[in-house]
Amino acid sequence: MNHRTKNLMLSIGLLGGVGCLMVWGVLTMLRDVRETVTKPAEQNPYQYDMDALRKTDEAPQAAWREVGAIPLPLDHPKDLALDASGTLYVCGGNEILVVKNGEEAKRIELDEPVRCIDVDKDGKLYAAFSRRVVQLNQQGELEAEWGDLGELAEITAIAAGPALVYVADYGNRRVWKFDKTGQLLEAIDGVNPNGEEQGGFIIPSPYFDLTLDVNGDGVWIVNPGRLRVEHYTPDGERTGHWGKSGWEAEEFCGCCNPTHIVQLPDGSFVTSEKGIERVKHYSKDGAFIGYVAPPESFDSGVTGLALDAGAQGRVYILDPSWKQARIFEEGLAPYID
């Protein structure tokens, strides 16, 4: 074999080797692609079926319908409140957005992220930072700054009544009661003085909401770890509760629900939940009536569906995922596509 033939054979061998390697590479890639494509997540033997939990077929026919939505151009919208005239206030980041007749009317800038807000019958606005509350007039001007609730405080909800302001603090696991001048009166810790249940408020995740009793008789406070809503008199005495843990539509599912609550003018309640994202309607005795918005109304995984109710009983749901205040009304025929 002469030198040229040897070189030629060596080159052919090398080229053949490289070719084989390329073919092997391409085949491996194709196999990987095929395996990836033919192994969809649905075939996961360890699948946890969230959709099975979201089923709504056995729930009573919904009598609520979505009638509108207000866009909320805010960073991380967190809470909303309606005043007696229907003006909507929404906090997010360091701002409070004021919406009149569906249009942005004003933005109020504050020094810290606003966790929650409420507005009283006189139109005074109460905004809570993580550790303290500030009072603003209708023009959004600062009128008063209340005392700091301490290093552990994490305020999650505020409800301003005619004489008292209740502030839910999940860090300290209690509800603080203030008078309208900002004087701290006492705290409700949820511990039953009779001792048949220990633990007071159990708050596994940072959702701890409350709503004023519409008849002026104290406050309804969610005890999320017990999956129920408890009533307290203005003196902080617990007089009753409703709601229970379970997997049915009428029950609260998860380790800690409902995340938000509002009482409607007729005394019935609307609640929102996380995990199974849904908004439900209960009678004033806590009997399940039906869905305001079933799970399919929301993006999967959304949390923080804050609630408020208008004077006519319309329910406003803050949807942080869609960045909207979504408006639902009862008594209309169910919407059919």
Partner 1 sequence: MSDDSRQPSRRGFLRGALGVGATLALGGLGAATVGQARRREWVWQLDPDICIQCGQCATECVLNPSAVKCVQNYEICGYCDLCFGYFQPGITDLNTGAENLLCPAGAIERVFVEEPYYEYNIDEELCIGCGKCVKPCLAFGNGSFFLQVRHDRCINCNQCSIARKCPSNAYKRVPADKPYLLRGYDPDKVPLKTRRVR
Residue 239: CB minimum distance to partner 1, A: 22
Q: How far is the CB of 70 from partner 1 (least distance, A)?
A: 19
Shorter beta-carbon distance to partner 1: residue 156 or 263: 156
Q: Which is nearer to partner 1, 42 or 337 (CB)?
A: 42
Would you tell me which residues interact with partner 1 (CB under 8 A)? 32, 35-36, 39-41, 44-50, 52-53, 76, 78, 115, 130, 151-152, 154, 156, 170-173, 198-199, 202, 204-206, 225, 245-247, 253-256, 274-275, 301, 303-304, 320
User: 10 Å Cβ neighbour count for 74?
Assistant: 19
Q: Least Å distance between CB 138 and partner 1?
A: 28
Nearer to partner 1, 234 or 295 (CB): 295
What is 14-50 written as a DSSP string? HHHHHHHHHHHHHHHHHHHHHHHHHS-GGG-TT---H
CB atoms within 10 A of CB 40: 8
- Residue carrying structure tokens 């809570």: 128
Going by their DSSP bridges, the two strands 95-100 and 103-109 should be labelled as antiparallel
Minimum gap (Å) between residue 41 Cβ and partner 1: 4
Closer of 225 and 234 to partner 1 (Cβ):
225
Tell me whether residue 36 or residue 194 sits nearer to partner 1 (CB atom).
Answer: 36
Q: Identify which of residues 173 and 281 has a Cβ nearer to partner 1 in the complex.
A: 173
Closest contact distance (angstroms) between CB of 225 and partner 1 is 7
Contact partners, residue 112, CB within 8 Å, separation at least 6: 94, 129, 130
Sort 180 into a burial class: Cβ within 10 Å, 0-12 / 13-18 / 19+: middle
Smallest distance, partner 1 to C-beta of residue 139, A: 28
List of E strands, 138-286: 142-145, 155-160, 164-169, 174-179, 184-188, 210-212, 219-223, 228-232, 238-242, 260-263, 269-273, 278-282
